[in-house]
Amino acid sequence: MQNKKIVFEDLGVMDYKACWDYQEKLFNEIISQKIANRDLPDEEKISTKNYLLFVEHPHVYTLGKSGDEKNLLVNENELKEKEASYYKINRGGDITYHGPGQLVAYPILDLDNFFTDIHKYLRLLEETIILTLKEYGIESGRSKGETGVWLDPESSDARKICAMGVRCSRWVTMHGWGFNVNSDLDYFKNIVPCGINNKAVTSVNKELGYGANMPEIKDKLKKNFSVLFDAQLI
């Protein structure tokens, strides 16, 4: 009874907390359905839903469960000056930045509909970005022991183009990736990104030397995501 259809929503620009609340709502609805299905005969079980949300956030810093607050390098007053907000949240990983020009994706999937392997899930999220970058002639890959997508990961010029952090409970996922498309990279100077202090960050427009076409990138990401997950976006 696997449901490989994924409801796609482009939320445009949305406040971080409002979007987090929306994620939690969808996440909890899926988990509630899974729990209800346990007590039902097979013919009465209801397939769980899956979602893929695209969004851009106003300037915000988020700190994961395992993160260190010392990796935020500005105080409350400086945050206000930069018109940025700050949240401690329930994903894995350390601190990251979201803002205009960065494409954030939140897959809220019941992995029982696909595969129950969180390592494979993270690798496929990374592969979605890697394949999309390749379509722009940008070679990218993985850095050993560090989740996300990097350019020249093994060199002294290693730079991160996409950060990732997820939460998974009862094989239902939330949170996801922050992909620097046309991001203002100066905002990364206010943190130690992902707690890694010896590597830089970059963006698609910095690598290409011109502003990237966000609608086009969204289409390519959706295509690559649906192929990798053998899913249908609806």
Catalytic choice (19, 162, 168, 194): 194
Other CB atoms within 10 A of residue 51 CB: 21
Q: Which of 51, 46, 96 lies closest to 71 in space, CA to CA? A: 96
Output the CA torsion 82→88→91→97 (10° steps).
10
β-bridge partners, 179: 103, 162
194 annotated active-site: yes
β-bridge partners, 233: 6
Q: How far is Cα 44 from Cα 233, in angstroms, rounded to an integer? A: 25
β-bridge partners, 175: 166
Task: Give the contacts of 77 (CB within 8 A, at least 6 positions apart).
Answer: none
Which helix H or strand E contains 19, and what residues bound it? helix 16-38
Q: How far is Cα 36 from Cα 86, in angstroms, rounded to an integer? A: 36
Q: Among all residues, which ones are annotated catalytic?
A: 194
